[in-house]
Amino acid sequence: MAMPNAKAQSLHVFLGPAVANDIFLRNKSVTTNPVSRYVLPAPQFVTGFRLKTQQNFNLMLDATLGLSRIHMPTQNNNAYKFSYEQVRSLITIGSGYYIQWEGKQSFMPFLQLGIGFYEFHNMEQKTPIGSVGVATDHNTSRWIPVCGAGMEYRFGIGGFNLRCVYTPLDVFKQPVLYDITGINKTGPYALQGRLLQFVLGMHFNLKLFNREEYY
C-alpha cells in the first residue's frame, strides 16, 4: 500500500541582532567630492514572520530598527573623517523560494519591497582635526520606498540572513549643507544621494503553527 504524501504549511516568527554597512551613492550634481569607502558598521535589530506555503514559497514580513552611517565627504577624506548618522526603521514584505535539505537545514533566496523611515541621530567626528558645522536644519525625517534582495540560511531554531536594501530616491528631502570649521576651514559641502545597505544578521526562529495536508 502506497504511503500518502504530505504538504506542510507553517508560520514562524524570528528575531535577532544584525550589523549593517551603508554605501552612499552620491548625487554627483550636488555632492561633488568623492565619498570615502571605509566601512562604517552600524547595529541593527530585525524581527519578522515567515509563512511557508505548500508550494515551497515563503511569504515574508520583516521589521528592522537600527542606524545608518554615511561618510561626509570633504576635499581630503583621509584627514577629515566625519559621519552622518540616522535612525532607520524598515518595514518590508517579500517572497522567497524555500529549499530544504538534510533534515532541518534550508536555504532561501528572496526579494523584498517596503518603506523606510529615516531620522537624524548624530554626527560623529573620527579625527581631532577641525570640526563640522551644519548650515541647514538637519533634524528632519523622511519616509522613502525601499527594495531589496538576499539569501537566508536556517538550521534548526537558528539562522543567518544576508540582504541588500536600496533606496531608489535621494535619502534627504533637501541636501545637507556643511563645512569644516577651525584653523583648517574648508567648504561649503552638500550631502545628497541614495543608499545601498548590506545587512548581515543572525536570528532565532519560533514555530507558531504547522499544518499538514495528506493526499
Segments of the chain scoring below 50 in pLDDT = 1-6, 214-215
Which residue's C-alpha cell is 535577532?
Answer: 16
* C-alpha span between 12 and 98 (Å, rounded): 13
pLDDT of residue 9: 82
Q: Which CATH architecture has domain 6-214?
A: Beta Barrel (2.40)
Residue tagged 499544518 (cell numbers): 211
Task: Supply the DSSP symbol for 129.
Answer: S
Provide the sign of the torsion angle of the four alpha carbons 9, 10, 11, 13, taken in this order: negative
Q: Is the pTM of this model over 0.85?
A: no
Instruction: Name the CA dihedral angle for 70, 197, 122, 63, rounded to a multiple of 10 degrees.
Output: 170
State the pLDDT at residue 180: 75
CA distance 113 to 52: 18
Q: 159: which 3 cell numbers?
A: 539562522
Length in residues, the chain: 215
Q: Give the model confidence (pLDDT) of 143-175 as tens digits.
A: 999 999 999 998 888 899 999 999 999 999 888
pLDDT at 181: 72
pLDDT digits (tens, 9 = 90+) for 24-39: 999 999 999 888 888 9
Residue the block writes with cell 530544504:
100
Environment class of 137 (CB within 10 Å of its CB; exposed 0-12, middle 13-18, buried 19+): exposed
Collapsing DSSP states into helix, strand and coil, what is residue 85? Answer: strand
Amino acid 162: pLDDT: 97
Cell numbers given for 139: 533634524
Q: What's the rounded Cα separation, in Å, for the pair 90 and 142? A: 12
Spell out the domain ranges in the chain.
6-214
What pLDDT does residue 183 have? Answer: 63
